Structure 1
Amino acid sequence: MGLLGLKRLMSMQRERKGRRQIQAPNGLITSVPQKNDSLCQDDDHFQGGKRSRYSGPNLPEDIWCHIRSLVPLQDAARSACVSRTFLRSWRCHPKLILSKKTLGLKRKACVKGDRARCFTSRVDHILKNHSGTGVKFLKLEIPDYCNVTTCHLNNWLQIAITPGIEEVSLFYPSNDKEEYNFPCSLLFDGRGNSIRYLYLNDCAFRPPVGFDCLKSLTKLHLYEVRITGDELGCLISKSFALKQLQLTCCSELNCLKIPFWLERLSWLSVFGCNTLQVIESNAPNLSTFRFFGDPVHLSLRESSQVKILKIGFSDKPNSVSYAITKLPSTVPNLEILTITSVSERVNSPMVADKFLSLKYLKICLGAYCQAFSPAYDYLSLVSFLDASPVLETFILGVCQDDMKHDSVFGDASHMRQSSGHKHDRLKKVQINGFCSAKSMVELTCHILENATSLESLTLDTVLHWEVNGEIRRCSVQKTGECRHLCRDMILEAHKALRAVERYILGRVPSTVKLNVGEPCSRCHAIDVKLS
């Protein structure tokens, strides 16, 4: 609720002339006299140089408190300047979002040093005048140009983190500043037991042995936090309510062990923790697991009920080969699998184990627009289809600047056919970054011949990134033009179109809807001469 909504409410209340309506048990509406609200009796205003008293809308105090809790921080601060009622409520405002945006520090309005001083002084003023009670939500986002000392930051947190607080987010970019160690003592004496969401950024967190101060914690996100495996164990071992755990670029984390008594944990994400060597999870209800980093020893044990898995190795090859050989036995109940591979040096092997429940498979090959290994055989991905008897959706994305594979136009006289199983559950196939590589054309032809329930086939000759799960082929709304493509990529896209016309179009059954994505005729126009 902003100031406009608040004014409307006050106007409506004035029109009721101090009377309030209640609903009787018989459903009739009646009016009863309303007592003066003590919170509003001392709101003074100046009219014509004289002080006048305005009682404001007559509302119970608990309703006023709820209204003020909905007012954004900036509007609450402005209201506090003109109303004693709101001044009192400002001092116990439940949501403290302290950032350069909410504090009105515009980059062009003042120089860097002035912005830093303004930020520090304003946060100082807000927190020192706050009563320290009633805070439910704290988001402290310190700009990278502010050299806030450890002592200063600890004082701010000491004021804001009080019993009853539910969410704490600290953004503290270290840069050249001294390393900040988050004081665990702030969570002692019951002050941490009400926290449900904790986000820490770019600091050290060293919980001691026996740490049990986050008993209500349901979501924990550590981003570039210096914490060891043993310390993380101390942190989460008594957090019995924990549902989501996200660890991003934690450089000291060498092992992650999740005990079986974290029964509510259902979502785990580990990204870029490159010193991590072991992940062991015994959380019985873990259903979603996302991992991206260097290969680790993965043991899910009691977490074998995982149904959604996203996995990829940051700079190591063969994520696809690892997935098909290791995962069927590790996560036998998998339903959705996404694999990201920067490079594959071996083809996908045929395996005996099956993904008996896998319905959705997405494989992303290549990164940083580099040419994918020309030795990789796209047709070998049939082994994944064979290992997934109930697969319904298969999406393949290939990112590369220059296609190095043997082209189908070089020699199409010996088109291979894989003697795999019939993929009678497969309904939707999508290849983003479809090219004229012979093995990719062979893969597509194999799917058309063996996917007896296929409903749609999408071949996009240009790899386009997804936004909220939706592929957007043109960014006209933002930049006025599509993503830049080099000349070789545009030429290859046109070769891919010709490959579709010559080798695929005639194989598409009448029951299958074919969608072909071409280069943008406006942004990717080029003179193309193909033999």
Structure 2
Amino acid sequence: MLFVSLSLMPLQNVLSSIVSRLSLRYAIRTSVLSRQWKHLWCDHPNLRFHLYMLERRRSRGSAPVTEHDLIALVNRVLQQHSGTGIDLLKVSCALHSEHPHHIDRWVKFAIVSKAERLVLRLSKYTKAYLSAIGCPAGRPERYSFPCHIFGASKDDGSYLRCLQLSSVSLNLPAQGFNGFPNLTKLTMLDVKITDEHLECLLSKCSLLEFLGIACCRTLTTLRAICPLNRLKHLKLQDCRSVKHIEMNCGLITLEYSGPMIPLQFATTSSLRNVHINLFDINSTLRIFRRLSMSSDNIAALDYITTGFPSTLQHLETLKLSNDEYKRTTSPVRLVDFIYLRHLRLELNIFGGWETDALDYAYLLDCAPSLEKLELHMWMQQCGHVPYREEHGELRSLPWHPHTHLKSIHITGFFGHKDQVELALHILRCSTMLEAMKIDCRVTIMPEDNHSVIYKTREYLDGYLVATAFVQAADQNNVVEVLGARKVFFTATDGSERFYFVS
């Protein structure tokens, strides 16, 4: 189809189409092919600049590539570019307040060329580093994003659809700021901005559909009183100083990671996907409810069965990460998440003997339409041992058929008695089950417990227990046990033997 469409185009348009599909680096290189190719790259729609573009074969003693080399490259390319048909202008380099005249010129170029996407990543630090370490001491002052440029005329910024800012300072002018009337996606990472300026900025982005804010430590309140009727996806990550959030919108997807705070929406009835990553689950209840809670940690199952409001009946996907210190104690309500299709739980279990994995069997009753269940566990080494028959009979809860659950994935399965009982209960109830994967290996880890290293013995114990008790009870051949395997060999006496490896 592409060949047919290109064959109907004039040769010059064909060549331009080919060059536009190349990266900027290779598009510029085509200029040496012939006179016909010399200026084709000058209409390239995607202008991506980063230090990798300047990598060259270095001989011993050659000078390293610096931000000044990149600045010179950007200035040279933008000077030669036609300034038409630009979709993206992206600069990724550790620049700061010492380079404002260069960056301001690039922003003006994006405005004049009617670029639809502008991305400024002016830091050498990743989001993971900023989340874990925070603002490094002694870092240069951030570049101040020139919001005043977007007030010279009503057309300034009107073509911008996507704006991504990283490690900049953002201060709105007292007057004359027209905002971004057609902006649909706004992402800010490590941006220095006040509560009032952010509220004003959001009030001038009426078509906003996605808002992502991460590691913005100067924010204390996120407020949008003006209606954001098109905002459907809100992503908040590690804004540790924020104490309150109030948004006049109806979200479909909410992602939250960080300390817990009150969170108010105009409505929550449209929420379909909720992802929450917390270490203080007790405070999490205040996201949707204003309750007086004790300071004790609360189990994830308590949160699921009592923390979510009834207005989340249309919830389809729920992902919850939590630290477990004690067993669930609250009464369990039944059949609340009638639309929930996918549930992913990440449990960091510190409670030792106080926790009981079998409690999570109630999830099948709370979500009768559940199709995919993921249960990822990390367990503090607390004296549990793999189950043996001499440890007592396995418990069995009352159950009724679950006719929608098709896929189950369990990790961190060490073969403890309550883990075996939970796996057997799910296997027994799930009449339409197509695949049940039990992985003895740990796939999640608390941020402050990286020093914990599991031994091969734990994985092998989990494998043997899962094989002996869960897989043996499988009558439909749907259970797959991962994390170890049998290796067969022929002994010196001619007999076949095997051993386990992880």
Query: How much does 1:448 deviate?
Result: 2.9
* d(CA) in 1 for partners of 2:172, 2:299: 35
* d(CA) in 2 for partners of 1:328, 1:410: 42
* d(CA) in 2 for partners of 1:241, 1:318: 39
Q: Deviation string for 1:200-259 (max 9, x for gaps)?
A: 101122235674421111111111112233322222223222221111211122233345
**Judging changes above 3 Å, is the alpha-carbon distance between structure 1 residues 212 and 21 closer, same or farther for their aligned structure 2 residues?**
closer
Secondary structure of the structure 2 residue equivalent to 1:300? strand
Instruction: Report the counterpart of residue 43 of structure 1 in structure 2.
Output: none
Computing the radius of gyration from Cα coordinates, the structure with the larger value is 1
Contact 1:135 1:161 in 2 (8 A): no
Query: How much does 1:396 deviate?
Result: 0.6
Q: In the alignment, is residue 304 of structure 1 matched against residue 269 of structure 2? A: yes
Instruction: Report the counterpart of residue 130 of structure 2 in structure 1.
Output: none
**Judging changes above 3 Å, is the alpha-carbon distance between structure 1 residues 360 and 71 closer, same or farther for their aligned structure 2 residues?**
closer
1:362 maps to which of 337, 344, 361:
344
Contact 1:324 1:348 in 2 (8 A): no
Q: Deviation string for 1:21-60 (max 9, x for gaps)?
A: 79xxxxxxxxxxxxxxxxxxxxxxxxxxxxxxxxxxx756
Q: Judge which range, 226-235 or 215-224, deviates more.
A: 226-235
Q: In the alignment, is residue 152 of structure 1 matched against residue 102 of structure 2? A: yes
Query: How much does 1:318 deviate?
Result: 4.2
1:78 maps to which of 29, 51, 70:
29
Instruction: Report the counterpart of residue 332 of structure 2 in structure 1.
Output: 351
Paired amino acid for 1:437: H
**Judging changes above 3 Å, is the alpha-carbon distance between structure 1 residues 240 and 452 closer, same or farther for their aligned structure 2 residues?**
same
* d(CA) in 1 for partners of 2:22, 2:381: 54
Query: How much does 1:519 deviate?
Result: 2.2
**Judging changes above 3 Å, is the alpha-carbon distance between structure 1 residues 520 and 212 closer, same or farther for their aligned structure 2 residues?**
farther
Contact 2:97 2:144 in 1 (8 A): no
**Judging changes above 3 Å, is the alpha-carbon distance between structure 1 residues 379 and 108 closer, same or farther for their aligned structure 2 residues?**
farther
Instruction: Report the counterpart of residue 306 of structure 2 in structure 1.
Output: 325
Q: Judge which range, 352-361 or 275-284, deviates more.
A: 275-284
* d(CA) in 2 for partners of 1:123, 1:179: 20
Q: In the alignment, is residue 184 of structure 1 matched against residue 165 of structure 2? A: no
Instruction: Report the counterpart of residue 172 of structure 1 in structure 2.
Output: 122
Q: Judge which range, 130-139 or 439-448, deviates more.
A: 130-139
Secondary structure of the structure 1 residue equivalent to 2:249? coil
Instruction: Report the counterpart of residue 472 of structure 1 in structure 2.
Output: none
Contact 2:435 2:479 in 1 (8 A): yes
Instruction: Report the counterpart of residue 495 of structure 1 in structure 2.
Output: 461
2:394 maps to which of 415, 430, 445:
415
Q: Deviation string for 1:499-518 (max 9, x for gaps)?
A: 2244334433x235111113
Q: Spell out structure 1 runs of 4+ moving beyond 6 A.
A: 106-110, 484-487, 526-529
Query: How much does 1:460 deviate?
Result: 1.3
Q: Deviation string for 1:432-488 (max 9, x for gaps)?
A: 1211222111212222333343343221111347xxxxxxxxxxxxxxxxxx99985
2:234 maps to which of 268, 273, 282:
268
* Pairs within 5 Å for 1:204-353: 204-208=169-173, 211-258=177-224, 261-284=227-250, 286-314=251-279, 318=298, 320=300, 321-347=302-328, 349-352=330-333
Instruction: Report the counterpart of residue 31 of structure 1 in structure 2.
Output: none
Contact 1:350 1:383 in 2 (8 A): no
* d(CA) in 1 for partners of 2:188, 2:453: 42
**Judging changes above 3 Å, is the alpha-carbon distance between structure 1 residues 63 and 514 closer, same or farther for their aligned structure 2 residues?**
closer
**Judging changes above 3 Å, is the alpha-carbon distance between structure 1 residues 110 and 77 closer, same or farther for their aligned structure 2 residues?**
farther
Alignment: residue pair count = 451
Contact 1:135 1:162 in 2 (8 A): no
Instruction: Report the counterpart of residue 199 of structure 1 in structure 2.
Output: 164
Supply the RMSD in Å over aligned alpha carbons.
3.8
Query: How much does 1:527 deviate?
Result: 8.3
Paired amino acid for 1:122: L
Contact 1:360 1:394 in 2 (8 A): yes
Contact 1:299 1:330 in 2 (8 A): no
Query: How much does 1:380 deviate?
Result: 1.4
TM-score, normalization by structure 2: 0.77
Paired amino acid for 1:115: T
**Judging changes above 3 Å, is the alpha-carbon distance between structure 1 residues 107 and 194 closer, same or farther for their aligned structure 2 residues?**
farther
Q: Deviation string for 1:162-193 (max 9, x for gaps)?
A: 25111101011176222222111232322211
Contact 2:306 2:333 in 1 (8 A): no
Query: How much does 1:195 deviate?
Result: 0.7
Q: Deviation string for 1:407-446 (max 9, x for gaps)?
A: 4338632433334655343333221121122211121222
* d(CA) in 2 for partners of 1:158, 1:198: 14
Paired amino acid for 2:185: K
Paired amino acid for 1:264: R
Contact 2:373 2:407 in 1 (8 A): yes
Paired amino acid for 1:423: H
TM-score, normalization by structure 1: 0.73
Contact 2:463 2:484 in 1 (8 A): no
Structure 2 gap ranges (5+): 125-135, 282-296, 445-449, 488-497
Secondary structure of the structure 2 residue equivalent to 1:493? helix
* d(CA) in 2 for partners of 1:129, 1:103: 18
Instruction: Report the counterpart of residue 142 of structure 1 in structure 2.
Output: 93
Contact 2:234 2:255 in 1 (8 A): yes
Secondary structure of the structure 2 residue equivalent to 1:126? helix
**Judging changes above 3 Å, is the alpha-carbon distance between structure 1 residues 501 and 226 closer, same or farther for their aligned structure 2 residues?**
same
Paired amino acid for 1:391: L
Secondary structure of the structure 2 residue equivalent to 1:265? coil
Query: How much does 1:113 deviate?
Result: 5.6
Contact 2:274 2:318 in 1 (8 A): yes
Contact 1:351 1:383 in 2 (8 A): yes
Secondary structure of the structure 1 residue equivalent to 2:455? helix
Secondary structure of the structure 2 residue equivalent to 1:102? helix
Instruction: Report the counterpart of residue 128 of structure 2 in structure 1.
Output: none
